[in-house]
Amino acid sequence: MSLVRLNIKGISYSQTQNGAYALILNEVDGDRKLPIVIGAFEAQSIAIALEKEIRPPRPLTHDLFKNFADRFDIVVKQVIIHKLVDGVFYSSLICERDKIEEIIDARTSDAIALALRFNAPIFTYKNILDKAGIYLKVNPKNDDESQDDSVLVDDFIAEELESSSAKDVYKNKTLDELHTLLDEAVANEDYEKAAKIRDEISKR
């Protein structure tokens, strides 16, 4: 499968869905965008890495990882978004130390936050971009592409939240059932689902 290089176009905050962010990736040699819904903390970390002038007084989690890696001569060479399952993107960090490469599983938001700090390229497979990539509907009378982005992101996040409305099902589950589902989600490495179940347990 051929790899497609991606650039970070930016982060959009949904005007209609409170607290929802989307990371917009753009294929280097094309017009398709790959929107990925991310959490507020990851959005903040990526935004800080994009804004080179902003230096937090204490290292954030991703900065700490970078400092740790630098100390032990570990380099993140590239990030590959390698799988898409039920709307969840899976990524890998390709790392190198002493000319030995290792592949480390990572959440896509974390992987991209680290890619920025290591100046590492971001790739995905063509079939993933074919499946999840979208074209912006640019209005020729409107040169403000960011406005189109905003509309696009609102629509995209709304669809994502609608598809993830399955989490409402958890409200009808007992605590024992939720703990069983949580164990299954962790065993299947479905951490996005596990996080939703954990949130429901915390509410109780």
Rounded to whole angstroms, the Cα distance separating 72 from 67 reads: 9
Assess whether pLDDT exceeds 90 at residue 140: no
Residue found under tokens 């959009």: 12
Beta strand 21-27 with 88-97 is unpaired
Q: Where in the chain is the domain with CATH 3.10.690.10?
A: 3-163
The CA R_g of the chain, rounded to the nearest whole Å, is: 18
Nearest to 113 by CA among 45, 21, 52, 58: 45
What pLDDT was estimated at residue 200? 80
Of residues 146, 126, 123, 121, the one with CA closest to residue 136: 146
Query: pLDDT grade, residue 70 (50/70/90)?
Result: very high
Query: What is the average pLDDT across 177-197?
Result: 83
Burial of residue 5 (CB within 10 Å: 0-12, 13-18, 19+) is middle
* CATH topology assigned to domain 3-163: Bifunctional nuclease domain (3.10.690)
Higher pLDDT, 51 or 53: 51
Share of the chain above pLDDT 70, in %: 79
Digit-coded pLDDT (tens) for 108-123: 999 999 999 999 999 9
- pLDDT tens-digit profile of 153-184? 556 555 555 555 554 677 778 888 888 988 88
Q: Is 173 helix (H, G, I), strand (E, B) or coil?
A: coil
Res. 19 pLDDT band, cuts 50 70 90? low
As a whole number, the mean pLDDT across the chain is 83
What is the rounded distance in angstroms from the CA atom of residue 94 to the CA atom of residue 75?
Answer: 8
Question: Quick one: pLDDT at residue 156?
Answer: 59
Q: What is the pLDDT of residue 85?
A: 87
